[in-house]
């Protein structure tokens, strides 16, 4: 008796151990994992600061502002700047995340100084790396 053609894909789906993962898929998965790790790093630093002091949650607001800046840069870049390269988008995300982090810190009462700039630029660098790896995973094997 002939089996319907829809049964074969269902059998493969139930038994994923036989599936072969290509190196390209593995690189994309690794790039996504690195993107998530880099994007989560400012929140890990904020958590460490909050646990150490017990009351200082300002880094969370700075990290959220940086995340919003990086996400806005990626969204605007996808919409209007079709010729952006992966590196260009990461640099724009770095600048916007850093500037919004500084503005958020100053809005909650932190004075502008070297410490604030180091924290904001560190968070901006983490979000820029997250944007780079995210777009690298979407573009493929090469950085354009």
Parse the chain into domains and list their residue ranges: 24-139
Q: What is the pLDDT of residues 70-88, one digit of tens each?
A: 999 989 887 776 667 888 9
Contacts of 19 (CB under 8 A, 6+ apart): 12
Burial annotation 1-17 (CB, 10 A radius, 16+ → b, else e)? eeeeeeeeeeeeeeeee
The reply to whether the predicted model has a pTM over 0.75 is: yes
Q: What is the pLDDT of residues 112-126, one digit of tens each?
A: 999 999 999 999 999
Residue 130 pLDDT more than 70? yes
């Amino acid at each position: 008796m002939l089996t319907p053609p829809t049964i074969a894909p269902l059998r493969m789906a139930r038994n994923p151990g036989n599936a072969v993962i290509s190196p390209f898929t593995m690189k994309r998965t690794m790039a996504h994992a690195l993107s998530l790790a880099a994007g989560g790093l400012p929140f890990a630093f904020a958590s460490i600061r909050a646990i150490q002091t017990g009351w200082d949650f300002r880094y969370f607001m700075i990290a959220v502002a940086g995340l919003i800046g990086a996400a806005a840069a990626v969204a605007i870049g996808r919409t209007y700047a079709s010729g952006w390269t992966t590196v260009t988008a990461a640099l724009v995300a770095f600048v916007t995340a850093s500037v919004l982090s500084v503005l958020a810190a100053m809005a909650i009462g932190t004075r502008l100084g070297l410490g604030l700039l180091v924290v904001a630029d560190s968070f901006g660098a983490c979000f820029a790396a997250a944007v780079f790896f995210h777009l690298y995973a979407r573009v493929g094997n090469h950085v354009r």
